Amino acid sequence: MKITLIDAGKRFNRDWIFRHFHYEFSSRNHYAITGPNGSGKSTLLQVMAGAIGISEGSIRYEQGLTPASEIPPDQAYRYLSLSAPYLELIEEMTAMEFLHFHHSFKPLLSSFSIPAILASVGLESAAHKQIRFFSSGMKQRIKLAQALFTDTPIILLDEPCTNLDADGIQLYQRLISEHTTGRLVIVSSNDPQEYDFCGKVINITEYK
C-alpha cells in the first residue's frame, strides 16, 4: 500500500493548518508525525484516514507494486485502521460485543480469535463487561486492539499511549513489535515512547 499527498493543504476558515505537504508513505515503513500541540498532527492523520477533506492539492491511495492499482479515496477506509483519543466507543456494548460488531465491517487478523485479542491486551477478565464501566486506560487498550488486530495494511495511530500507565505503554510497544511487520504505520505524537520504532520522522511545522 502507498499513500501519496501531492502539494496538500488544509485550512479551517482563513487559518492554514498545513500547506504544500508533498510526501509518499509506503508499506513496510513506519513514520512519525511530530510537532507542538495544536500544530496539525491530528488533522493530517485524519486527512490520510479520509475523515476530513483537504483544501488544496490531492491525495492518492495505491495498492500493489508494479503496476500499482489506484484506490478511490472514498474506498480507502477499507484498507486502514485508526486509533485516536477522540474516537468514541459504543459504551453500551461489552468488549466482546464491540469487537464482534467491528468484525462485521472489517476482518480481524485470521490467527486471532476475539477472546485471544482481548487476552493480548489484558482485557480477558473484562470481556463481558460494558465498556462504560472501563477505566480510561482500559478504553485505550480496546482502541489499540481494534486498530492493530484488524487485518488492514495501513495503521494510523494518534497519540496511542493516551491514558496508559507504564504497563500499558510496555504492552503498546510489544503489540507494535509483534503485529506491524510489513504494514504501513503512521504515528502522530510528541512522545518518543510512542514512535521510537519509526524509521522516518516528519515535523509538521515544516509545512506551514
Q: Give the pLDDT score at 65.
A: 67
* Residue ranges of domains in the chain, CATH in brackets: 2-207 (3.40.50.300)
Q: What is the pLDDT of residue 64?
A: 79
Q: Are 199 and 207 in contact (CB under 8 A)?
A: no
pLDDT at 208: 86
pLDDT at 68: 74
CA 12 to chain centroid, in Å, comes to: 23
Residues of the chain with pLDDT under 50: none
**Amino acid sitting at position 69:** S
Among the listed residues 33, 36, 67, 64, the one whose alpha carbon sits nearest the alpha carbon of residue 49: 33
**Predicted pLDDT at 31:** 98
Q: Which residue, among 191, 96, 185, 74, has the nearest Cα to 146 in the 3D structure? A: 96
Residue 9 bridge partners (DSSP): 56
Residue 96 CB partners (closer than 8 Å, separation 6+): 114, 115, 118, 127, 128
Q: What global pTM score does this model have?
A: 0.95
Question: Residue 26: which of 205, 186, 179 has the closest Cα?
Answer: 186
